[in-house]
Every structure is written in C-alpha cells, then in structure tokens.
Amino acid sequence: MAVTQTTVDTAAAMVTEAVPLADWLLVAPVLLTMAGGATAIIFRKKSFVQPWIAIATISLVILSNIGLLNHVLTNGVVTMVMGSWLPPFGIAFTADPLGALLALTASIATLCVAIFAINSIAENERRYGFYPFLLMLLCGVSGSFLTGDVFNLYVWFEVLLISSFGMQILGNEKIQIDGAVKYAVLNLIATTLLLTTTGLLYGLVGTLNMADIAGKIKALDSSGPVLAIAALYFLAFAMKAAAFPVNFWLPASYHTPRLVVAAIFAGLLTKVGVYALLRVMVLLMPEGRDWLASLIGLVAIATMLTGSLGALAQTDIRRLMGYLVIAGIGAMLAGIAVGNEVAISGAIFYAMHSVLIMTALYLLVAFMFQMSGTFSLRDIGGLYIRTPLGAAIGLVLLLAVAGLPPFTGFWAKLLLVAGALEADRGWVAAGVLVSGLLTTIAIGRLWIFAFWRGGNEHTMDGIQALPIAGSSDASEISWSIWLPLLALTALIVLIGVMPEALMSISDNGARTLLDPTEYIRSVFGGIR
Amino acid sequence: MNTLIFRTVAPYLSALMMLFSVFVLLRGHNEPGGGFIGGLIAVSAFAIYGIACGVSAVRRAMKYHPMSIAASGLLLAVLSVLPSIFYRQPAMTSQWLEMPFLGTVIDLSTPLFFDIGVYLVVVGAISSIALSLEERAD
C-alpha cells in the first residue's frame, strides 16, 4: 500500500520495552489449560488418552506456577498487559504473592483430581467431557487468581461456572439435575449482582483496572457510593463463597455430582469467592472493609458455627464434608473481618490449606465409599482393620481440617486468632476457637464411626462385622486412588511441620494487599 | 418445512450465506464484522440447510464433528496469542505480515487468526447445540 508513512509515537499508548520471558508465566496457566482443553475435546472419543492429555497439561501448569511464584517472590508484583496496550486500557494480568500462591495450590489440587479420576470416572462420562471441563475449570480459576482487571475477573468467573455446570450433571441423574438447578440459580444471581456492581464501580471511578481503581477510590471526596459498592460486592462474593446466610446452595448441591467433581468444587470454587473478597475488600476498598468489618465478623462467626454444627448433625458423609467447607469459609471471612496483616496472612494461609484439605477430604470420602459401600454414618464401620493406611490418612486429614497441630489448619487458625487478639477483636478469635472445637467433635465422630467401630451402628464393641456387599478390599484399590490421597496428605503434613516458608509467602501477600503501593507501581510504573 | 420450493432453494441460500459469513469475518478488523457475527451467520446457514434437508445431511456437509471444529478454533485462537513471545512483547500483541499476492498486498495478522478461531468456536458450539435440538424435534 503506497500510503505516506506517518510517524506516530506509540510509546504513549503501548508498551515499547522488551518484556522478560519470565513474565509470560503470568498467562501460561490460562493458555496451557485452554490449549489442553481444546486438544482433549478433539480427542474426546479416545477416552484412554484423555487423562494423559489432562495430566500432562496440568503438570506443565504446575511447573509454570512454581516459576511464577518464584518470579513474584524475587522480583515483586508482576504485570503483563494484553496486546501491549498500556493500562488502564489494556487488560492487565497482575500476579502478587496471594494470586500466585493460590494459582499454584489450585493446580496441584487439580492434578490430584485428574489422577484420581482415571479409574473413578466411567468411560461414557469421560466421553461427555470430564477432562475438558476439568481443564477449563482450572483455566477459569487460574484466570481469576491472576487477572488485574475487575471485569476480566467476572469473565473468568463465567468460564469456571460454565465448566462447573457441565461437570455437575456428569452422569445425568435426576438428583444431579436437582442439585445443579439450585447451584446454578444462586450462582447466576450472584454473577448478575457482581456484574451490576462492577458497572456501578465503573460509573463511579471510570476504570476497571484494579490498580487504577485502588488509586482512584482514595482520591474520591465522598465515600458513600464506595461503601454501597463494597456492600454489594460483599453480598455477591459471599454468595459465591457460601457464607451464611446465603450458603444453603452448597450442602444442597455438593453431594450430587461424582465425588471427584465434588472434590474439585470444594477445593477451588468457594475459594475463588474468598479470593475475590480479599482482592476487592482489602486491596480496592479498604474503607468499605473498615465500615463493614463488624458485619463481616458476624457473618464469619455465623458461617463457622453453621458449618461446624451442620457437620455435627449430618449422617451422610458427603453432606458432612459440605458443611466442613462452609466452616472453612467462615474462618477465612474472619481473617477479612479483622483485617490486620497477621489476620489477612492467616486468611491467605487458610485459603491455601482449604484448597488442599477439602480436595483431599472428598477424595477420602470416595475412597471410604469404595471400601465400605455406603455414605451413611449409621452403616459404615470397620475400616481400620481393613485398611490401616487409609485410617491413618483419614486421621491426618480430619485432624488437619479441624485445625489441630501439627498440620496446616493449625497454623492458619493460629494466625487468625493471633491477628484477632492483636486487633482487639476477641469475639472473632473466640468464634474461630469454638468452631474449631465443634469441628473436632464432628470429625472425631466421623473417624470413630467409620474406622474404629466394627460395623454398622448395631455392632457391639470388639466385634468385627462382615463388610457390606459390593465394597472392595484394600488390595483392589488402584494406584490412581492411593497416589493423589498420599500426595495430598504428605503435602499437608510437610507444610504443617515446616510452615515458615509458606507463612512468609502469606505474610508477603498480606502486606501487598494492605499496602497497594507495590501493586500499583507494578501496573503503572512502566513494565520492566 | 417439507415444501419443494424450500428444499430446492435451501442449499443455494446456505451456500450464499456461508460465503457472506466469510466475507463478514474477513472485513472484521477495520469495519463492522468479525469472527463472532460471521460465525453466527454461518450457523444460520447450517440451520436452514438442516431444516430443509435433515440433520444428517448437515453433519455430512460439515465433515468434522461440530465439537471438534469448536475445539480447533479455540486452539487456533490460543496459538494466535503466542507469536509476540519471539519479539519480546506482551501476549496478544498483534504481528503483521504484508504479503504480495497477484499484484495486491494482503495484510496477514495475528488478530485475523484470532478472529478465525472465534469464528470456528462459534460455528462449532452453536451448530452443535442447534443440531442436537433439531435432532430431538425429528
């Protein structure tokens, strides 16, 4: 084209410096999972290669996330803007220690689920796309953790929601459709609220970039609209996170899908809601958080108590686990309610712990079902003698979820309680401790009934009942079930024994959230 | 919908619409159009053909399974994000290649391939839904 060359100074609108290769780690999880998911769809008829496509992809994602976390910890917050357009116009991907840590944890949990599913998802369900859905779910979750743009966050929420709808009804049972409807309706309401609130926020500050919002909200002269937006965001994300009183959808739907599916849901989905709360309440609108602190504290305590009391009341193991998820959400909310560095660090640590432990616990339920043939606490029993290793794994995981030392949950709760006492919010600390006690009773009941008691509830002490028909022997349990269970348990013990490294990361994450200077500088201070 | 006139016209109409959808796809970068809207036009073409001649005819005409088409589109879109890695630029930065072709210059760019990816995703996903709905109606 013979057009006269005009010189335009692109430096005002575009990134002109060379971008270090390591910054690509920011987008790698999303791109890898998308490409892997697409490949898995193309090969959906070849159900034997499906798991290996997924496992290979997720392993790459884990490696890339390890690299990203390392990059963030050595060089500070990292930002990459899409298409070279400078922020706030280009969509920014920004990773701080919080996002990078959760992205890594999520990919580890997903890998365990992908391995576990090899022998526990039926072949026709594999053809209906279990693995593509799993990869796209991880894509949405990683995108949520790494994006630096509020509207983009909404888009990633959609990606993970649509994948989760698909996974939830895998199996086409009536009860699954019932669970899926409850799950879908409440989540769609929450998503609509999220989008509306984002619209209001855009109307207020005229930008969607998180760093830009954090800066501009401080400069506003009237705080009323910000408080209203913070309250709306709190409601929207509390629904997603299953906080009291909008938590009823979780126990109503998490027992219906396949247990591996429930494992990944319990591990990842609610945590994305908590992550979004941390991001929006602490980084973007600290003023709104201060204003709502007492309310968040009350919601947190109510959530913890509903969770642990619900867990005590259940006789179906799957429902019991659903309530344990809710109790954990309450603990993380308590960290947000307190809001000082120690408590936020505790909430981040708890989120990481919760991803691992809830995934592991649902996998444990699947294992227990295979060993005993029942989900009912009345009928289950005698597992200790049949699988001592399984009993040991179960004990570790259950103690960890209750927050007893020396496992991960203990350190998270320690930070939460220490933070609450430091901030003079003893009642929040009391809530965390009481809920911990109730959870301990609930899990003690579960472990004693399932492992120690000889058989069903009518079995006398000291008698070993015959296993229920249809349950398998410990020797029939395949490696694809042992491996993820043992790996997750080992990780939980390892982090529990040596928590310093992760605590320093979560401290770092809390500092970055509470003082957004570094975050803003990473987005606007020129891209290194 | 089993009238002679419709059955005779439908293949020509679908062919015309397919052509138009490609036109809309290609003009998308600088003018109204693009992968999404182009894809929708293509799906309507398949839908009309399906109403006239039956779902199995459409499946034969598409040659590949709609889900595979959608997945390959997604793969193409992901690949189109990558080239800027070689120029040390952020992801999705557009790369242009001016190619002389029969006396004119054709601008090939990564956004074009991204758009083609979107086009394929829309064609695959929506026609997959439309075809299974039409199959139910039979």
Say what the pLDDT of residue B137 is: 65
Residues 46-85 of A with CB under 8 A from B: 80-84
Q: How many CB atoms lie within 10 A of CB A35?
A: 22
Amino acid residing at B70: A
Say what the pLDDT of residue A528 is: 38
Q: Considering CB atoms only, which of B68, B74, B91 is closest to A24?
A: B91
User: Does residue B100 sit at the A interface (CB-CB below 8 Å)?
Assistant: no
Report H helices in chain B. Answer: 4-27, 35-53, 55-62, 66-81, 110-137
Mutate which of A16, A26, A84 to test chain B, going by most B C-beta atoms within 10 A? A84
**Contact call for B93 and A35, based on CB within 8 A:** no
Report the complex ipTM.
0.91
pLDDT tens for chain A, 528 residues long, are 455 566 677 777 788 788 888 889 999 999 999 999 999 999 988 888 889 999 999 999 999 999 999 999 999 999 999 888 888 888 999 999 999 999 999 999 999 999 999 988 887 788 888 999 999 999 999 999 999 999 999 999 999 999 999 898 887 888 888 889 989 998 999 999 999 999 999 999 999 999 999 989 988 888 889 999 999 999 999 999 999 888 888 888 888 888 999 999 999 999 999 999 999 999 999 989 999 999 999 999 999 999 999 999 999 999 999 999 999 999 999 999 999 999 999 999 999 999 999 999 999 999 999 888 888 888 888 888 888 899 999 999 999 999 988 899 999 999 999 999 999 999 999 999 999 999 999 999 999 999 888 778 887 777 777 777 667 777 778 888 999 999 999 999 999 999 999 999 999 999 999 998 889 888 887 543
* Percentage of chain B modeled with pLDDT above 90: 54
Q: What's the 3-state SS for A285-322?
A: CHHHHHHHHHHHHHHHHHHHHHHHHHHHHCCEHHHHHH
d(CA A165, nearest CA chain B) in Å: 16
Mutate which of A3, A10, A19, A25 to test chain B, going by most B C-beta atoms within 10 A? A19
Region B71-95: what's the mean pLDDT? 91
The answer to whether A167 and A262 have CB atoms below 8 angstroms apart is no
Question: Of A321, A328, A319, which is closest to residue A273 (Cα–Cα)?
Answer: A328
Average pLDDT, chain B: 90
Q: Considering CB atoms only, which of B68, B85, B93 is closest to A84?
A: B93
- Taking every pair of Cα atoms in chain A, the longest distance, rounded to a whole number of angstroms, is 94
**Contact call for B90 and A38, based on CB within 8 A:** no
Backbone torsion region of residue A477, taken as left when φ is above 0, otherwise alpha when ψ lies between -120 and 50, otherwise beta: beta
User: Does residue A524 sit at the B interface (CB-CB below 8 Å)?
Assistant: no
Residues of A in contact with B82 (CB under 8 A): 31
Q: How many CB pairs under 8 A join A and B?
A: 67
Say what the pLDDT of residue A406 is: 86
Among A184-188, B76-80, B94-98, the least confident range: B94-98
Say what the pLDDT of residue A1 is: 44
Say what the pLDDT of residue A527 is: 43
Residues of A in contact with B67 (CB under 8 A): 41, 44
Structure tokens, A444: 């003690």
**Contact call for B91 and A80, based on CB within 8 A:** yes
Say what the pLDDT of residue A399 is: 94
The CA-CA-CA angle for residues A465, A470, A473, to 5°, reads 70
As a whole number of angstroms, the distance between CA A508 and CA A254 comes to 33
**Contact call for A27 and B70, based on CB within 8 A:** no
d(CA A101, nearest CA chain B) in Å: 22
Q: Considering CB atoms only, which of A1, A18, A90 is closest to B88?
A: A18
Report H helices in A117-173. Answer: 123-127, 130-146, 150-168
User: Does residue A23 sit at the B interface (CB-CB below 8 Å)?
Assistant: yes
Residues of A in contact with B71 (CB under 8 A): 37-39, 41-42, 132
